[in-house]
Amino acid sequence: MIRFEAAQPNEMWQADFTHWRLADGSDTEILDFIDDYSRFLISIRAYRRVTGRNVAEQFAMACDEHGRPQSSLTDNGLVFTTRFTGKTQGDTAAKNQFEKLLQKWDVKQINGSPNHPQTQGKIERFHRTLKLWLTAQPRATSVATLNKQLSEFQQIYNERRPHKAAGRKPPSIRYRAVPKAVPKPLPQEEVRQRNDVVDKDGKLTIRYGGKLRHLGMGRTYSGIRVEMYVNDREVTVVNKKTGEILRYFKIDPSKNYQKAISSLNR
């Protein structure tokens, strides 16, 4: 497995949340952001339950204090992304508050592959360190008390605790030692291209909203090699050999089989 590490502070922030029980046995969720390059703990806070609004607000406050990152890495939890829900707003995929903020601030959104938690191995290891420290403290009796403990932990972790990845120095030294990366303007629309062959039943297959969608090309095109240009819900199918536009689709998230909006070949 190839291990990735950012080349500058703020090039990438990883975010995730983990669970911790209070003295009465009730559950809380701890949301944190760490800097991939330095392992500096950017922000940490406990909630009864983390919501999309909590993620957006905590991220915004962290940006006010530390600057905006160039990219964000999270898993595919609904508080981070709605990419697999299939929901739409008009003709575009629906976005939650966090996603809208990232887009507004030109922060590139990266989501780990489903069922591959090793993508975020650094923050997973960080959670083990956090829980070892919390276990050694008196069990918090409320979310407010837990947040006081987390504030103390953040100061110790960043300023006093040596970290192997930071050259046996506290993460704060590595985080502040070199210039920080800043967001780069992102394209307003991202068009992806893929090659395929129309099957014997006259269909193409594409994944959208976490599900396979079948595009009805018609048996006339069976065996034809095509290029598909995908811009959110819009799919343009082009004959790879001639460059002729064959079909145009607008994905209906409620249906698996998609009919062409128009036949543009002339």
Domain 13-177: CATH superfamily, name plus number: Ribonuclease H-like superfamily/Ribonuclease H (3.30.420.10)
How many CA atoms lie within 13 Å of 116's alpha carbon, on the beta-carbon side? 6
Q: Which residues, listed in sequence order, are joined to residue 111 by a DSSP beta bridge?
A: 74
Segment 243-258 shows an average pLDDT of 88
What does the pLDDT look like over 25-76, one tens digit per residue?
999 999 999 999 999 999 999 999 999 999 999 999 999 999 999 999 998 8
- Whole-number pLDDT of residue 132: 97
CB 22: neighbour CB atoms within 10 A? 17
Q: What is the DSSP letter of 93?
A: E
Instruction: Tell whether pTM > 0.85.
Output: no
Residue with tokens 């940490």: 44
DSSP of 66-80: H---SEEEE-S-TTT
Give per-residue pLDDT as tens, 116-156: 455 567 898 999 999 999 999 999 999 999 999 999 999 99
The residue ranges of DSSP E strands in the chain, in sequence order, are 13-21, 27-35, 41-47, 71-74, 88-89, 92-93, 108-111, 192-197, 203-208, 211-216, 225-231, 234-239, 245-250, 257-259
Report percent pLDDT > 90 for the chain.
Answer: 61
| Sequence ranges of the domains in the chain | 13-177, 192-259
Residue 265 pLDDT more than 50? no
Answer yes or no: are the C-beta atoms of 34 and 14 closer than 8 Å. Answer: yes
